[in-house]
Amino acid sequence: MMKQFNLSLATGMLAAVLVSSAAVADDPQNTPIPAFGSQCLSCHGEDGRPELADVPIIAGQQPIYLANALRHYKSGERTNGQALVMQEMVKNLSDEQIVALAQWFGAQQ
């Protein structure tokens, strides 16, 4: 279990580093969202604070929790109702991309 966490954190770090190499600042909060996540903002808000009342606030949430949530959508463990919307969002994301987005949203204040 512990090992898996470390692993995902490591890949997450890696992805985050790769992403931020293109970014202006090394402060994660001011780093633009990776291009493959630009769609997320239309619902979750530019800074992870949604304008829609039934979309969860994910800014500043624990990255591990967010990454696991995204994996559960992808695997179909979270399904039905609005989870189907998220399934569409993550179906073409790799695990590295999932971790990078989880890191990014987690870093928003």
Partner 1 sequence: MTKIKRRTFLKGAAALSASGALLHHFTSSTAVQAQSSGPAGSTLPARSPLGISDDLFNPTEYSSIDGRLVKTMWMGFNKVILPSGPTILRNFNDSLPGPTLRINAGDTLELAFENRLPENRPDQPTEVNIPNHFNTTNLHYHGFHVSPKGNSDNVYLNIEPGDKFNYVVQVPKDHPAGSYWYHPHRHGSVSAQVAQGAAGMAIIKGALDDVPAIKEAVERVLVIQAPIPGVDGILDSEDPIWPLDAERDFLVNGEYKPRIYIREGEVQRWRILHAGDAQFFPFKIDGLEIYEIGRDGNPLPEARLVEEVHLSPGNRVDVLVKGATPGAYLLRRPFFDQGKQSLPPVHLANIYVIPANDSRVPPGTPFGREIPKGPLPDNPILVDITDAEITHRRKIVLGVEDVKGYFHDTLFTINDEPFDPKRDDVVSKLGSVEEWTLINTTPFPHPIHIHVNPFQVMSVNGVADPDKPWMDTIAVPAAGTVVFRTRFLDFDGRYVMHCHILPHEDTGMMINVNIEP
Q: For binding to partner 1 (CB under 8 A), which residues are involved?
A: 39, 42-43, 51-55, 80-85, 87-89
Of the candidate spans 3-11, 13-21, 24-32, 64-72, the one that interacts with ligand HEC by CB under 6 A turns out to be 64-72
Is residue 83 at the binding interface for ligand HEC, with CB under 6 A as the rule? yes
Q: What is the chain written as a DSSP string?
A: -HHHHHHHHHHHHHHHHHHHTTSS-SSGGGSPPPGGGTTHHHHH-TTS--SSTTS---TT--HHHHHHHHHHHHHTSS-STTHHHHHHHHTT--HHHHHHHHHHHHH--
69 and 78 Cβ atoms separated by less than 8 Å: yes
Minimum Å gap between C-beta 56 and partner 1 is: 10
Give dist(CA 79, CA 34) in Å, integer.
25
Is residue 89 at the binding interface for ligand HEC, with CB under 6 A as the rule? yes
Is residue 107 at the binding interface for ligand HEC, with CB under 6 A as the rule? no
Of the candidate spans 3-11, 12-20, 23-31, 39-47, the one that interacts with ligand HEC by CB under 6 A turns out to be 39-47
48 and 101 Cβ atoms separated by less than 8 Å: no
Is residue 66 at the binding interface for ligand HEC, with CB under 6 A as the rule? yes
Minimum Å gap between C-beta 50 and partner 1 is: 8
Of the candidate spans 6-14, 23-31, 37-45, the one that interacts with ligand HEC by CB under 6 A turns out to be 37-45
